[in-house]
Amino acid sequence: MSSQGAPPEWSGIDIAVPVAPDRLPGISMAGFRRRVPGPVDIAMVAHPSVTLLIDLSDEGGLVYDGQGRCGRGSVVIGLAPGELRASGRVGECLQIRLPPGAAAAVLGPSAGADGSVESLADVWGRDAGAVEERLRAAGSWDERFEMAADFVCRRIGEGPRVDPEVAHVWRRTVAGGGRVRIDGLADEVGWSRKRLWARFRAQLGVTPKRAAQLVRFDRVAHLLAAGVSAAGAAAEGGYADQSHLHREVKAFTGLTPTAVAAAPWLAIDDVAWPDAWRAGRPVTP
């Protein structure tokens, strides 16, 4: 386990990451622990993965609010959820990021579709409580990461797989930073644009265009958080101009580029998964 301190905004939180993060290619995990119990209230930023937050607090302290759904405890956050807040008195939490193809196997084909926000209990049923209890009782983050990896591996082995063509288009979209031509990707896999659109949306929960927008937004959000100006981020991200960037950032987060640049979740993101966004991860569908 690698453990490190959080940025100034989160000085009371320790972050743990697996020593061998590549055991599950494209899937990433991080553990969060508050040194002193207290309230948390953050706006989460959309990410090109289905996010699983497993609340390990003694009394189910995590509260979430997004997509018209409010709830308490562990939650599944789909692709491009829009405005989302996490709050409550959270002691410990395990976050798992699943590429959309893996999410279909781990969580079920409908989980995370269209940016939905769902209770983990609604998605996994009785398994949710059993997994939470085992993780909560573990003696270290290393043990928790191993448990989580074993469970994810088993679910992937048992679950449905996306079409190879859909997987290829997702990988190309991420590798290209979202700056891809959908017609060109359809030609690469030998499908019509209409077929690609239908299969991609059915299996990953978003259209190819929306996926490209999300991947591009993720890169730009991290550029903004790193101190790049809105104009510079727009140019590097492939936006037509700064106004185009502003509209897309607003659509994904409800925030301005300036507000996104200061989002504490991005600061946490850079500590838990340093440079992952620059390398174009996650790429596994």
Annotated domain spans of the chain = 2-158, 164-272
Beta strands in 19-138 (DSSP E): 28-34, 40-44, 50-55, 62-66, 69-72, 75-77, 84-88, 92-98, 117-119
| CATH number of the 2-158 domain | 2.60.120.10
| pLDDT value, residue 209 | 93
Same fold, 2-158 and 164-272: no
Say how many CA atoms lie within 13 Å of 65 toward its Cβ. 8
Q: 128-149: per-residue pLDDT in tens? A: 999 999 999 998 999 999 999 9
Alpha-carbon distance values, 81 to 10, 29, 90, 222, 271 (Å) = 23, 20, 21, 18, 22
Architecture of the CATH domain 164-272: Orthogonal Bundle (1.10)
Beta strand pairing call for 62-66 and 117-119? unpaired
Round to whole Å and give the CA distance between 196 and 186.
6
The conformation of residue 108, written as its DSSP 8-state character, comes to -
pTM of the predicted protein model: 0.84
| pLDDT value, residue 11 | 56
Round to whole Å and give the CA distance between 226 and 279.
15
Q: 241-250: per-residue pLDDT in tens? A: 999 999 999 8
Among residues 113, 117, 58, the alpha carbon closest in space to that of 88 is found at 58
Confidence of residue 192 (pLDDT cuts 50, 70, 90): very high
Q: 215-270: per-residue pLDDT in tens? A: 999 889 888 888 899 999 999 988 989 999 999 998 888 888 988 888 767 666 66
Alpha-carbon distance values, 134 to 1, 145, 205 (Å) = 18, 11, 30
Provide the token pair at 117: 């926000």
Among residues 22, 26, 100, the alpha carbon closest in space to that of 283 is found at 26
| pLDDT value, residue 278 | 44
What three-state secondary structure class fits 50?
Answer: strand
User: 2-6, 209-213, 250-254: lowest mean pLDDT where?
Assistant: 2-6
Round to whole Å and give the CA distance between 210 and 214.
6
What three-state secondary structure class fits 2?
Answer: strand
pLDDT of residue 168 exceeding 90, the answer is yes
Q: What is the mean pLDDT of the chain?
A: 83
pLDDT of residue 283 exceeding 50, the answer is no
Beta bridge partners of 85: 43, 65
The conformation of residue 283, written as its DSSP 8-state character, comes to -
Q: 45-96: per-residue pLDDT in tens? A: 788 888 899 999 876 688 888 777 788 889 898 886 667 778 877 788 899 9
Provide the token pair at 29: 């995990």
In terms of residues, how long is the chain? Answer: 285
